[in-house]
Structure 1
Amino acid sequence: MMTLFGKVAAFATAVPVALTMMVASVQAEPIRIALAETPSDELAAFFVALDRAKANGLDYEWTAFSDEELAIQAVLSGQMDIGFGTPYSAMQRSKAPLRIVFQLSKLKFFPVTTKKYSSLEDLNGEPILLHSRGGGTDSIANVIEERVGMKFGDRSYVPGSSNRVAALLGGRADATIIDLSNKNKLMRSEAADRFNVLEMFDVEASDEALFGNLTWIQENEAQVDIFVKALVSVWQDMHKDPTIVRRETNPDGPIGQLPKEILDELDGFYADAVAGGLYDPNGGGRKAAMADMEWYSAAGQLDGDASTLNIEDFWYLAPLDAASK
């Protein structure tokens, strides 16, 4: 028979073992994150969230892919756990149960052209430079064609709005679709009189979202919850004060190593983005999911009428629901 002392000793031994097992369950394997582009000012808030998540026990590693399609394929193949993108077509057609857990940004993009064009109708049959095949700017081009009743010419793909601005400035393109921040920078520059920002309808759907395989998400619930809570905290804090991103950027991290001229513009970048409605402080959730159903069905990346689609076939809302409590 075990003595009282023996029972106490056994309990004392079991407690740290149990705690060790709990910690191990959170940190069993690093989350493998597939970025859809190399680190840039557009990813500064995301890396601040990663730092906050790391401080709360999340272990992670990231890989930058050259475009969204490759990031999606990396998650589909199991090479990566979490990816950037809006893989609605892959979700519907793939056997893998991909689900979105957080809306990173909305489709706040603008058609910008040289002075050759003054309206969307003028782009009928003309080549256009976009971010990635099947991505947000590709879907915008599809909806423009449907609503305006025209058809773009050849579509070429160059990831990163800043890179597409460089193509415009260098005379390598006459028409593209770029994000809010780069549109503002271009039209404030000395070259502004060379370009037109074409009138565009408003869009609330997701541009970039965080997604993963549902089975993996549920098996790694503790890690995903830490991650999503960190994202929500940063997105809410930067709505109160956009300078939080610059102030919390790790000088030794991938964003902190960017050129000084980019770092000096972070406050302006996030002030413009927040004012322009680029980020939902609550991570999108059901509101974003409904907007996505309407947008991506109209864009031809989802089969079926939006009213017939079930958002739970595309979003897994439990992590956001937990973060909001």
Structure 2
Amino acid sequence: MAACFGATAAQAETIRIALAEQPSDEMAAFFVALDRAKKAGLDYEWTAFAEEELAIQAVLSGDMDIAFGTPYAVMQRSKAPVRIIFQLSRLVFFPVATKDYATLKDLDGVPIMLHSRAGGTDSIANVIEDREGITFGERSYVPGSDNRVVAMLAGQAEATILDLSNRNKIIAEAGDRFNSLPMFEVKASDEALFANLDWMQENEEAVNIFVDALHSVWTDMSKDPSIISRETDPNGPIGQLPAEVLAGIDKFYSEAVAGGLYDPNGGGREAAMADLEWYTMAGQLEGDPASLNPDDFWYFAPLDAAMK
């Protein structure tokens, strides 16, 4: 599925954006930012890919300009001039287990159900093992937090890792059966935007408009999460979602902002340093995090300009 929007002020090129999934309520803030960027003169089009890896490859091949993801291993291995420019969300996830387990240490040897191999929840499991000195049992993979909730309720697993909304859902529905285990704070990126550095420098004006719009939305949202539902275009891709989904947008963003899912400043250097430490512990980066250069993974100029 793809969509294209024309802006009033012409740019040198139309930015081609690769989404890692179909538009959903969790992407409403991103589309509000696109609407603001359009009003500021940005031409763009977006294409939804089936998974993050396909979006990453589309940027590496030059078929797309900007994509969702945290391709740290790819950036280090390929030496491709790809850089992250904005942290969309943090790795705010929650281990949930049956009432047999009350702490992370209790999960030593316990099988765990995760989203995908080498994905965000797999990384979280690796870091939990490292920090807590435990080793999970067999790892199984069920994409989608909502699908893992169904599996947990059906008794198909004893432990999993869920996003904020689905953690709240399972505890509200079956808090007598499940515990949300205490989790350490994480400032590393779950979703970020990245692009080819050469392309960004050649299209500086368009990239700056885009990042400035993102920064403005993330800042406004941190003060008033309801701005997302109010600015959602009823005729856009989010506005076309089912009415029951749209009705939950305020609740989702209120909980997400309160839960620390979004950095109002788009991550920047703090997120870059957290990412290097996190993804090294997770096994996706090689070397000592202190010896890695954030400028090899992030391009800070557009966000620096937006923060001014």
TM-score by length of 2: 0.91
Instruction: State the distance in 2 between where 1:55 and 1:107 align.
Output: 31
Shift of 1:116: 4.7
Is 1:88 aligned with 2:88?
no
Q: Between the two proteins, what is the percent identity of the paired residues?
A: 72
Pick aligned residue for 1:226 from 209, 214, 230: 209
Work out whether residues 89 and 263 of structure 2, in 8 Å CA contact, stay in contact via their aligned partners in 1: yes
Residue 23 of structure 2: aligned partner? 39
Residue 6 of structure 2: aligned partner? none
- Deviates most, 37-46 or 73-82: 73-82
Q: How many residues align?
A: 301
Pick aligned residue for 1:103 from 78, 87, 95: 87
| Deviation >6 Å, runs of 4+ | none
Instruction: State the distance in 1 between where 2:53 and 2:100 align.
Output: 31
Instruction: State the distance in 2 between where 1:230 and 1:121 align.
Output: 42
Provide Cα deviations, 1:162-218, integer angstroms capped at 9, x if missing partner: 3332332344443221112221232223x2322221222221111111111111211
Is 1:166 aligned with 2:179?
no
Pick aligned residue for 1:133 from 98, 114, 117: 117
Provide Cα deviations, 1:21-41, integer angstroms capped at 9, x if missing partner: xx54x252x322222222222
Residue 74 of structure 1: aligned partner? 58
Residue type at the aligned position of 2:278: W
Output aligned runs, 1:161-310, within 5 Å.
161-189=145-173, 191-310=174-293
Shift of 1:79: 2.4
Instruction: State the distance in 2 between where 1:232 and 1:299 align.
Output: 28
Work out whether residues 12 and 203 of structure 2, in 8 Å CA contact, stay in contact via their aligned partners in 1: no
SS at match of 1:237: helix
Residue type at the aligned position of 2:172: R
Shift of 1:127: 3.4
Residue 38 of structure 2: aligned partner? 54
Structure 2: which 5+ residue stretches go unaligned?
Answer: 1-8
Instruction: State the distance in 1 between where 2:119 and 2:224 align.
Output: 30
Instruction: State the distance in 1 between where 2:235 and 2:154 align.
Output: 32
Q: Cα gap change, 1:132/1:71 in structure 2, threshold over 3 Å: closer, same or farther?
A: farther
Q: Cα gap change, 1:156/1:269 in structure 2, threshold over 3 Å: closer, same or farther?
A: same
Shift of 1:235: 0.4
Instruction: State the distance in 1 between where 2:127 and 2:252 align.
Output: 27
Residue 324 of structure 1: aligned partner? 307
Shift of 1:100: 0.4
Residue type at the aligned position of 2:286: D
- Calculate the aligned-residue CA RMSD, in Å: 2.0
Residue type at the aligned position of 1:300: G
Residue type at the aligned position of 1:66: A
- Deviates most, 97-106 or 180-189: 180-189
Residue 152 of structure 1: aligned partner? 136
Residue 20 of structure 1: aligned partner? none
Provide Cα deviations, 1:113-146, integer angstroms capped at 9, x if missing partner: 2335443334334433323332322211111111
Work out whether residues 69 and 133 of structure 1, in 8 Å CA contact, stay in contact via their aligned partners in 2: no
Residue type at the aligned position of 2:66: I
Is 1:121 aligned with 2:105?
yes
Work out whether residues 98 and 314 of structure 1, in 8 Å CA contact, stay in contact via their aligned partners in 2: yes
Q: Cα gap change, 1:180/1:92 in structure 2, threshold over 3 Å: closer, same or farther?
A: same
- Deviates most, 141-150 or 225-234: 141-150
Residue 65 of structure 1: aligned partner? 49
Instruction: State the distance in 1 between where 2:246 and 2:278 align.
Output: 34
Work out whether residues 90 and 190 of structure 2, in 8 Å CA contact, stay in contact via their aligned partners in 1: yes
Instruction: State the distance in 2 between where 1:275 and 1:46 align.
Output: 18
Residue type at the aligned position of 2:307: S
Instruction: State the distance in 2 between where 1:65 and 1:128 align.
Output: 27
Provide Cα deviations, 1:275-295, integer angstroms capped at 9, x if missing partner: 111111111111111111111
